[in-house]
Amino acid sequence: MAPASDACIGAPLALVTWDPDTGKFEFGPGLEALKAATGQNVPLAVVAVTGLPRTGKSSLLNQLVRELQGSELPPQHGFKTGHTTEACTQGLDMWWPPLPVRLPAAGADRDAADGRPTHRLLLLDVEGTSAARMSKSRSVRVMALTALLSSMFIYNSMNVIDEDAVERLGLVGEVVRRVREHAGAHTGGLGKHAPTFVWVLRDAHLQPAVINGREETPTEYMERQLAPLARKGTNVADPDGGGGAGGGGGGASDDPRVALGALFPHANECRMLPQPLADGARLRAGAGPGSLAAAELAPAFREGVRELATLIGALARPKSWAGVQPAAGCPSSGVRNGDGHSGGIDGAGAASTPVTGPVLAALLEAYVGAINSGAVPVIADAWEATLRRECDRACAAAEEAYEAAWAEGPEPQDAHQLQQRHEACLGAAQMEFEAIAVGPAPLQSHFQQQWRGAVQSRYNERLAGLLGRQAEAARRQAEEAQRETAQARQEMRDAQERAAAALQQAAAAAAQAAAAQQHAAAAQQEAAEAREVAAEARQAVSQAQRQAAAANAEAGRSRQQADAERERAEAARRQAEELQRRETEARRSMAEAALRAEEAQRQCAAYERARQEEQRRAEEAARRAEAERHQAAAAQQEAAAARQRAELEAQQRDEAARRARHAEQLQQAAEAERQQAEEASLQAAAAKKGAEVERDRARGAALVTAVAAALALLLRLRT
């Protein structure tokens, strides 16, 4: 079914261009667009339209874009078309953005599709091949690149399938001899990577042939025209012909139909399109069918384009390492192999690595690099390099996602928080890696271990830093506790000194109180003696009593001072006990800090062991990488030796061909000399016969003369 319409109409972009000065392909802005299409991780089905120049390929693509997206194209908005003899397309142009395809679920109505595209169609407009001033090498390169990239290969030609068209399309068969599936192998398995083939016959006006009382379909007509020719001394059942697609032998491999059958073994189709307009005057005036509105086109042409768009939506599938998976229920009819059976898809089916925008960009770079360097594109090497490149990009994205997720929250303060943050960041990095990584599970697992090892090293560094900071904090706490302990000891010594001073003061006050008591006792004794001695000395006694009262008051004050000193001494004692308790707590804190420091030392030792183990693994990985590099260098040397052998064999073949041509020339010269000798022999025989005739004539003449002479003599004798 056709894709659903998109809001964005899109426009063509140059994907690959040709530089006539260097004779090599160059990349256009379409390559960067493919690389940047990372947000839409949707597989791409590449549909390419090829054919001779000025046969309406770009116009057909514009009509297909209109049908596939369900809206008219604004004027001068589609692929470039023209009405002169000069070709418009140079290289490969693509329609960007790709057109979405929404297929229904299994068992559902074919018109009922969900809203999410299952894949997207990337339409390619390919420059015309086999042009008058276009070399065969360039045509083969363009065809090879198109066949390698496309999921559906549409060949656009005019009216009927004739021998010239088959010979021109046979250029694609060169791909079979030039492209290898994997290093050192022949192209026998290339079919599982081949695109679906569709032949579009333009301006078709002939009626279908009637075979066995039934009109044949366009696809049956194509199969009949492309059936391999049976030649004397060849085995048609062997499509390789002894030197078939993989070699350069003669026999059946000389038939381009065999090469086409090997290159396009999938379910293939043929479609016929009538003239776009009943009256072609406007087309001749410069308006191609791609620039005309649907209402201006002939109904039969519009219906044919609609059917072709439906066919593309149903058969075009994204490429993968196992090839192109055909649509469910699709007929297996197509270009026949040499044994007359239709080429089906490989039983392995499609792999789990479909082509997305970045993958297609990487494959394009690999194929163009190989073609520009004159090397033979190797599909397996290009796929493996592409998968590794995408996995490398996934590793970088995963590490960036890990660091971005780590920077979102506050810095963890302990090992438990650090482990939780590490696990959360690993989840974000894993999601980013799975969104980009492609390829089989072992390859993804290898690169996953790579980026996990990198982030684990960063986690170990952060853990070591955290443990170091904790150890430094514990050391500072221990130093602070030591300073507090020293201060407490100094304060305790000061309190002890103040208590000793207070005790001394209390002892002095007690001594003063004792002296006052002694003075009071003496005064009392003196008063008693005064009372006993004389009554008249009352005044002196009263004075003595006042003195005794003053002494008692002084003694009371001394006792109060002594009590206050005792209270101060008790407070100093309690302060000293508090200082001793704080010293005990400080010693306990120091012991706990020492325990934490020992734990930090143990964790640092564990980190050091982990770092050494990580270093050992890194060294082991470096040794393995060095071994792989040596193996790659050996493989490159073997490939260079193989190329040298191939060049030597090519030189030998050229020398043999030259010798064969020389021998043929010698044979032709000998044949000419033989013919000249035969002519000379015939001339000699004719001359001999003439001489014999002349001799017979001379003999007859001599005989006549002799007879005449004899008669004359007889006459004379008689007379």
Residue 82 has pLDDT above 70, yes or no: no
Residue 313 has pLDDT above 80, yes or no: yes
Residue 233 has pLDDT above 60, yes or no: no
Instruction: Assign 198 a pLDDT band (cuts: 50, 70, 90).
Output: very high
Residue 243 confidence (pLDDT): 37
Q: Mean pLDDT lowest for which of 43-52, 232-241, 354-363?
A: 232-241
Residue the block writes with tokens 């002894």: 242
Mean pLDDT of the chain, nearest integer: 75
**For 290-294, what is the mean pLDDT?**
63
Residue 173 confidence (pLDDT): 66
Which residues lie closer than 8 Å to 642 by C-beta, 6 or more apart? Answer: 184
Residue 711 has pLDDT above 90, yes or no: no
Residue 6 confidence (pLDDT): 43
Share of the chain above pLDDT 90, in %: 6
Residue 4 confidence (pLDDT): 45
Structure tokens at 649: 């064999």
Residue 83 confidence (pLDDT): 57
d(CA 147, CA 194): 7
Helix H or strand E encompassing 395: helix 379-408
Residue 47 confidence (pLDDT): 95
d(CA 287, CA 82): 7
Q: Mean pLDDT lowest for which of 130-139, 145-154, 327-336, 378-387?
A: 327-336
Residue 48 confidence (pLDDT): 94
Residue 688 confidence (pLDDT): 85
Residue 285 has pLDDT above 90, yes or no: no
- Domain 11-377 matching CATH 3.40.50.300: the answer reads yes
Conformational region of residue 235, where left means phi above 0, alpha means psi within -120 to 50, and beta covers everything else: beta
d(CA 177, CA 263): 10
d(CA 236, CA 258): 9
Structure tokens at 32: 């960067």
For residue 210, the cross-strand partners are 215
Residue 180 confidence (pLDDT): 60
pLDDT digit string, tens, across residues 622-673: 788 788 788 878 877 887 887 888 888 888 888 888 888 888 888 888 888 8
CB 606 within 8 A of CB 415: no
For residue 214, the cross-strand partners are 211
**Nearest to 264, CA basis, from 143, 163, 158:** 143
pLDDT digit string, tens, across residues 8-38: 578 889 999 988 888 889 999 988 888 887 6
Residue 185 confidence (pLDDT): 45
Most confident of 390-404, 489-503, 546-560: 390-404
Residue 107 confidence (pLDDT): 43
d(CA 581, CA 254): 107
Question: DSSP state, 3?
Answer: P
Residue 247 has pLDDT above 60, yes or no: no
Residue 710, CA distances (Å) to 697, 699, 703 in order = 20, 16, 10
**pTM value > 0.75:** no
**For 223-237, what is the mean pLDDT?**
65
Share of the chain above pLDDT 70, in %: 76
d(CA 242, CA 521): 150
Structure tokens at 337: 């192999």
Residue 339 has pLDDT above 50, yes or no: no
Residue 200 has pLDDT above 90, yes or no: yes
d(CA 202, CA 156): 7
Question: Going by DSSP bridges, is the β-strand pair 99-101/152-158 parallel, antiparallel, or unpaired?
Answer: unpaired
Residue 2 has pLDDT above 60, yes or no: no
> What are the structural domain ranges in the chain?
11-377
Residue 603 confidence (pLDDT): 77
**For 395-402, what is the mean pLDDT?**
86
